[in-house]
Amino acid sequence: MVRAVLKGVLAHKLRLFLTAIAVVLGVAFVAGTFVLTDTINRTFDTLFDEVSADTDISVRAASGFGEDAPIDSLRDTVPASVLDAVRRVPGVQAAEPTVTGYAMFIDEAGKAVTTSGAPTLGFNWTDPGLSPLTLRSGREPQRSGEVVVDAVTAKDHDFALGDKVKVLFRGPTEEFTVVGITGFGEADNLAGATLAIFDLTTAQRVFGKAGRFDSIEARATEGLSSLELRDRVAAAVPSGVEVVTSQEVADESADAVQQGLGFFSTFLLVFAGIALFVGGFIILNTFSILVAQRTRELALLRALGASRRQVMASVIAEAFLVGLFASLVGLGLGVLVALGLQSLLKAFGIDLPASGVVIQPRTIIASLIVGVGVTVISSISPARKASKIAPMAALRGGGIEQGGSLRRRSLAGAVVTALGGAALLSGLFGGTISLVGLGAAVVFVGVALLSPLAAVPMARVIGAPFPRIAGMAGKLGRQNAMRNPRRTAATAAALTVGLGLVACVSVLAASIKASAADIVDEYLAADYIISTTNFLPSISTELAPRLARAPELAAVSGLQTGDWRSAGQTQSIYGADPASVGQVLKLDVTAGDIGGLARGDVLVGEEELKDKKLEIGTMLAMTFARTGEKELRIAGTFAKNQLLGSYVVSTATFDANFSDRLDFVVLAKAREGVAPAEARAAVERVTADFPNVELRDQSEFKQQQEDQVNQILGLVTALLMLSIIIALFGIVNTLALSIFERTRELGLLRAVGMSRRQVRSMIRGESVIIAVLGAILGLGVGVLFGYAIVGALDDEGIGKVVVPAGQLLTYVFLAGLAGVAAAVFPARRAARLDVLAAISYE
Amino acid sequence: MSSLMQPAAPAPHPSAAAARGLDLVKVYGQGDAAVRALDGVSIEFAPGQFSAIMGPSGSGKSTLMHCMAGLDTITSGQVFVGDVELSSLHDKELTRLRRDKIGFIFQAYNLVPTLTAAENITLPMDIAGRKPDQVWVDRLIDTVGLRQRLSHRPSELSGGQQQRVAAARALASRPNIVFADEPTGNLDSRSSAEVLGFLRKSVHEFDQTVVMVTHDPSAASYAERVVFLADGRIVDEMTAPTAERVLDRMKGLGD
């Protein structure tokens, strides 16, 4: 039996390949995600270990958020006196202070040197023995006006020793001379971040931390453990200052990276899962067709004494072999993909220290289990069908028509669809994401069960113009698509999943875009929006005051945002200038007094006030990372404003509780009667000095919001493309198997005068019908999903559902084109069929 | 010009024959494994004649038919259908020739399962995008007696009915010649008689040329002329055959 299975698999290498490819691609996605994130993780671990390798302990201000403070929460600085205290502790061999802050280079052309997401870091030069910096050329910065640049930035922007470069800070922009170029350990920079290194005094000045340090790094004398040193130093520093081992700092950083990568890998794995789900449909369909075509062979095995169980086992064993083979290939491909992505990161300027590709046992096990699992599970139903073949079928000949009535199947489909829909909705409105995913998957299965019912009438309609376009070939293509509704529907179902999700995301995106424009109209009063491309908080605090001095502008307000905690719950808070915020935002203070902001009070959103049962005039305890718990009086409430969150304080209050304040947006309103061109010119005169910001008016801002949504839509669509490609391979596979099955018929058609071109056009017709059928079903399901999700997001300000009909029609058209592409190979095979061999084929 | 010269070899010239083959050689395989399926066969099929090709298995009778019908290529020699020489034709032209000039009836799987009987009958014209001659098609349908079954699909027809549909299709485009490859091989005797009767009728009433490959002496007896093949050569010919005479002759060939 085993030998029979093996021979069966090897006898149909092409079929094996086409079936396996669905699994290969899915598994490659899974493996690639794991390998990439594991490798990046390991890389950062190495990096952080390297950073802390030369030091034993780190002394820093304690976080108001306590022990579990996130790595990026902003701590207070420590006074310079702490350094002396640390140095006096017996066992401290050396101690060096660190001051760090925002520093962005400006290149020769006056453009800001931005990164793809990584920070633009500035800090002070420390004793090489306590720092991972490795000077590549030049010397360390010794006095005011000198800077050392990381090697990547220097290379990319032609910064050479002796060059004058401008650097942008929270405060005024300054000019420096490049005196050195440095690496970070082995690497040329710190994982994509730009580095600007100054002498300690300059760093303290430009970062606004005169007389203070962010942290102090110290090394123990020979023979003293870091733990021992930590305890000794801890006893010597004032309260509010904590001492941690360098290893702990490295671990904190590594954990933060790991957490971030965790989201990233979950995000990718969702798409890998979708691809595998689609692959499952294709495997199910392929094995169903194979079993039907091998009826005689299987019946012969039964006639020769094989038991039902053995026949079933033989089909499952074949699936197992295909799955194993595909998983192994997918694993290899995944490693290659991860390597490719890594070089891609490098091309984006993220130079990570080499640590080799990390292939964890988990990656291998997960890839094999997932790949083999999907294949085997998908083959169970065809295997059961195979086991029901009667030995007599060997004598009757011909393929079996798949049994079971469509009515029963459709009933099951309706029930499954309803259950899936219910799960989806309860997940959406209950906020359980995994239930949403499960529900969606179940709905797709239900639709796949239902779709054979729709396949014939839909194929008739979709193919209606074919006879007119391609004559008899078109007519035959259409009828071939209708002759086996289960096969057509199952093949189309794979495409339904991918396009369903694309349609859902498209509806969501269109709705968000429409709502975003509404939000701008409803909540924004400013004429000009000044921000960085990604709305990162990196606008110099100089900008807003300088703009405010322009006579063409009536009101200017910079906005800040940060996190605060209450009872373990992290929430956002916004800082704004109380004098002008009401003019740049349509801030509707419904109760209380906005004037309270200037006195250090907090404004709370109406709904939040109600939800948290807060009262105007009472004190609200808010915990900040830098300053710990503070009591703020609730000055009043304001009507929901999508641009402002639920808690607003004055910029002064914000400054008092957060360090390194930078605006994430500056809003400006033109003075009444000033021509737009004039007002804009006034803004531009100021922003010219801050090359990292972009200026937009309201319509440009709406456009940018739209562009951002489009960007995300593009990314998600690209990730869904994989499952669509897999579905197209499914069409190729089905067509190839159908052609094999219809060899005699094709031979007859060729014999009685059908040209090769007509044969190709016939196959193409069938393919286009399957693809368009799958697309239409998918778009239908996807639009319904879109309605459900937008409905659930009502609270987030997405008020109305927008169905981008033109876009969806384009998808149908593209699906048709994809159908043409999927038919190329099968059509060529069919057209090249040897007529004589085909008609004498038994 | 050519009539003035002594032809050393038969030159291609327009001929009255519906189809003819000159010195046909067909070799399968190469070297030691080479098999001469046709070994110098020259044959003519006159218009309006019902010919049968007989011979034991491996005699080359099917190969001869396939080569004459443009389904297979010959190793050497010349094939004419009407006055068209086949060896110079490419696939596209051969396909068009089969579609317009030749009718086919195979042993089985003659019909496209997704098409009705009526659609199967007019298939070659539909493929060509031509309107069928409805009067002629109606006449054929009545002759094969399938008026009541026109909207049925092949799976709803008996084997005999299917072969009659195939026969009507073969004649529907008024081809130069109809090739039938064991048309009764899968049929019972009554259905066989119906199909063969129709073929004979098409020759007598419609002046159709029919060439049928068979190994059944009683089927051959419907023809006006029987050509006997053995080992790739024509070994005998018989006109006005009866089943007994054909059977006797076949015994001599060792079938």
| Residue A637 tokens, joined | 């409430």
Q: Does residue A235 sit in the same domain as residue A90?
A: yes
Q: Which residue has the higher pLDDT, A682 or A643?
A: A682
For residue A730, the number of C-alpha atoms closer than 13 Å in the C-beta half-sphere is 38
What phi, psi does A101 have (nearest 5°)? 180, -175
Contact at CB, B109 and A480, closer than 8 angstroms = no
Per-residue model confidence as pLDDT tens for chain B (255 residues): 333 444 344 444 445 788 999 999 999 888 888 888 899 899 999 999 999 999 888 888 889 999 999 888 889 999 999 888 988 888 889 888 999 899 999 888 789 988 999 999 999 999 988 888 999 999 999 988 889 999 999 989 998 899 999 999 999 988 999 999 989 888 888 899 999 999 999 999 889 999 999 988 999 999 999 999 988 899 888 888 888 888 888 887 765
Domain endpoint, select from A362, A387, A403: A403
A246 plus A227 within the same structural domain: no
> In degrees, to the nearest 5, what angle opens at C-alpha B139 toward C-alphas B133 and B142?
140
Residue A618, class by beta-carbon neighbours within 10 Å (0-12 exposed, 13-18 middle, 19+ buried)?
exposed
Q: Note the pLDDT of residue A6.
A: 66
Residues 6+ apart with CB under 8 A from A413: A446, A447, A448, A449, A450, A451, A453
The residue type of B86 is: L
pLDDT (tens digit per residue) in A136-177:
999 999 999 999 999 989 998 999 999 999 998 887 889 999
Q: CB A756 to CB B95 under 8 A?
A: yes
Chain B residues whose beta carbon lies within 8 Å of the beta carbon of residue A835: 71
One domain, residues A76 and A109? yes
A511 lies in the same domain as A586? no
- What are the phi and psi torsion angles at A543 (to 5°)? -65, -55
Out of B71, B113, B123, the one facing A836 most closely (by C-beta) is B71
Per this entry, what is the length of chain A?
842
Distance of CA A257 to the CA centre of its chain: 15
Tokens of A698: 């309201």
**B126 touching A (Cβ < 8 Å):** yes
Structure tokens at A70: 């996130």
Look up residue A22 and give its amino acid. Answer: A
Residue B2: predicted pLDDT? 39
Q: Are A344 and A289 in the same domain? A: yes
Rounded to the nearest angstrom, the gap between the alpha carbon of residue A717 and the centroid of all alpha carbons in its chain is 11
A413 falls within a domain: no
Residues of A in contact with B89 (CB under 8 A): none
pLDDT recorded at residue A185: 77
- Per-residue model confidence (pLDDT) at position A191: 75
Partnered with residue B26 across adjacent β-strands are: B38
The helix (run of H) or strand (run of E) holding residue B105 is strand B102-105
Q: What integer pLDDT is reported at residue B6 of this predicted model?
A: 41
Alpha-carbon separation of residue A150 from A165, A206, A677, A710 (angstroms): 13, 19, 41, 34
**DSSP code per residue over A237-286:** SPTTEEEEEHHHHHHHHHHHHHHHHHHHHHHHHHHHHHHHHHHHHHHHHH
From A689, A707, A729, the end of a domain falls on: A689
pLDDT digits (tens, 9 = 90+) for B140-183: 999 888 899 999 999 899 988 999 999 999 999 889 999 999 89
| Calpha distance A57→A234 (Å, rounded) | 10
pLDDT in tens, A204-228: 999 888 889 999 999 999 888 989 9
Q: Return the residue of B nearest to A752 by Cα.
A: B99
What pLDDT, on a 0 to 100 scale, did the predictor assign at position A252?
86
User: Has residue A399 got a pLDDT over 50?
Assistant: no
Q: How far apart are the first and last CA of chain A?
A: 25
Asked whether A670 and A583 are in contact (CB, 8 A), the reply is no
Mark whether A233 and A281 lie in a shared domain: no
Predicted pLDDT of residue A404: 56
Q: Is A755 near chain B, with CB under 8 Å?
A: yes
Q: Which residues of A575-612 are buried (b: 16+ CB within 10 A; e: fewer)?
A: bbbbbbbbbbbbbebeebebebbeeebbbbbbeebeee
Based on the domain organization, do A210 and A181 belong to the same domain? yes
Residue A409 within a domain: no
pLDDT tens for residues A241-283?
999 998 888 888 888 888 888 888 888 899 999 999 999 988 8
Judged by DSSP in three states, A53 sits in helix
Residue A671 in contact with partner chain B when CB distance is under 8 A = no
3-class secondary structure, A578: coil
Tokens of A744: 């005699």
* pLDDT above 80: residue A555: yes
Asked if B176 has any chain A CB less than 8 Å from its own CB, the reply is no
Between chains, do B95 and A480 touch, taking CB under 8 Å as contact? no
Give the residue from A423, A448, A443, A442 showing the smallest Cα distance to A433: A423
| Residue A442 within a domain | no
Each domain of chain B, given as residue ranges in start order, spans: 47-70+89-253
- Residue keyed to tokens 């929430």: A571
- Asked which of A315-329, A383-397, A655-669 is least confident by mean pLDDT, the reply is A383-397
Range in A70-74, A178-182, A801-805, B190-194 with the lowest mean pLDDT = A70-74
Residue A770 clears pLDDT 90, i.e. is over it: yes
Nearest to A727 by CA among A76, A274, A116: A274
Residues B165/B120, Cβ–Cβ less than 8 Å: yes
C-alpha R_g of chain A: 33
Query: At B143, which amino acid appears?
Result: T
- Expressed in angstroms, the distance from the first to the final Cα of chain B is 47
d(CA B2, nearest CA chain A) in Å:
34
Tokens representing residue B200 in the block: 């004979």
Domain contains A435:
no
Q: Are A804 and A503 in contact (CB under 8 A)?
A: no
Residue A221 DSSP symbol: P
In this structure, the number of other CB atoms found within 10 A of the CB of residue B6 comes to 4
CB A681 within 8 A of CB A495: no
pLDDT of residue B212: 94
Both structure tokens of A7? 């021979």
Angle, CA of B35, B38 and B41, to the nearest 5°:
155
Shared domain check, A229 and A95:
yes
Q: Searching chain B, which residue's CA lies closest to the CA of residue A468?
A: B129
What is the gyration radius of the CA atoms in chain B, in angstroms? 18
Topology (CATH level 3) of domain B47-70+89-253: Rossmann fold (3.40.50)
Identity of the residue numbered A303: A
Instruction: Report residue A515 as tokens.
Output: 């709502």
Does any domain span residue A228? yes
| Residue A719: band (very low, low, confident or very high) from pLDDT cuts 50, 70, 90 | confident
pLDDT classification of A364: cutoffs 50, 70, 90? very high
Q: Is A835 on the interface with B (CB under 8 A)?
A: yes
C-alpha span between A523 and A535 (Å, rounded): 18
Burial environment of residue A616 by CB neighbours within 10 A (0 to 12, 13 to 18, 19 or more): middle
CA dihedral A710, A714, A717, A718 (to 10 degrees): 180
Residue A396: pLDDT band (50, 70, 90) is: low
Q: Are A35 and A131 found together in one domain?
A: no
Predicted confidence (pLDDT) per residue in A299-348, tens digit: 888 888 888 888 899 889 989 999 999 999 999 999 998 888 777 766 66
Distance from CA of A719 to the nearest CA of B (A): 39
Q: Which residues of B touch A756 (CB under 8 A)?
A: 91-92, 95
Chain A interface includes B73 (CB < 8 A): no
Specify whether A194 is located in the same domain as A112.
yes
At A34, which amino acid appears? Answer: F
Query: Mean pLDDT, to the nearest integer, of A744-762?
Result: 92
CA–CA separation, A634 and A616 (whole Å): 5
With cut-offs at 50, 70 and 90, classify the pLDDT of residue A2.
low
A629 φ/ψ sector (left φ>0, alpha ψ -120 to 50, else beta): beta
Distance of CA B165 to the CA centre of its chain: 16
Concatenated DSSP letters for A107-162?
A: -TTS-B---SSS-EEEEE---GGG--EEEEEE----STTEEEEEHHHHHHTT--TT
Amino acid at B171: L
Angle at A414 between CA A410 and CA A420, to 5 degrees: 135
Number of domains in chain A: 4
Q: How many whole angstroms separate alpha carbon B77 and alpha carbon B68?
A: 11
ipTM value for the complex:
0.86
- CB-closest option in B92, B106, B111 to A839: B106
Band of pLDDT at residue A592, cut at 50, 70 and 90: confident
Question: Does A338 lie in the same domain as A273?
Answer: yes
Most A CBs within 10 Å, among B28, B116, B123, to test the A interface: B123
Q: Is A473 in the B-facing interface, judged by CB distances under 8 Å?
A: yes
The string of pLDDT tens digits covering residues A41-83 is 888 888 788 777 788 899 998 887 776 666 666 788 899 999 9
Confidence of residue A790 (pLDDT cuts 50, 70, 90): confident
| Beta bridge partners of residue A212, listed in sequence order | A79
Domain span at A673? 541-689
Q: Identify whether residues A206 and A95 lie together within a single domain.
A: yes
Cβ-based neighbour number of residue B165 at 10 Å: 28
Residue A663 DSSP symbol: B
Whole-angstrom distance, CA of residue A351 vs CA of residue A342:
9
Residues 6+ apart with CB under 8 A from A673: none
Residues paired with A134 in a beta bridge: A183
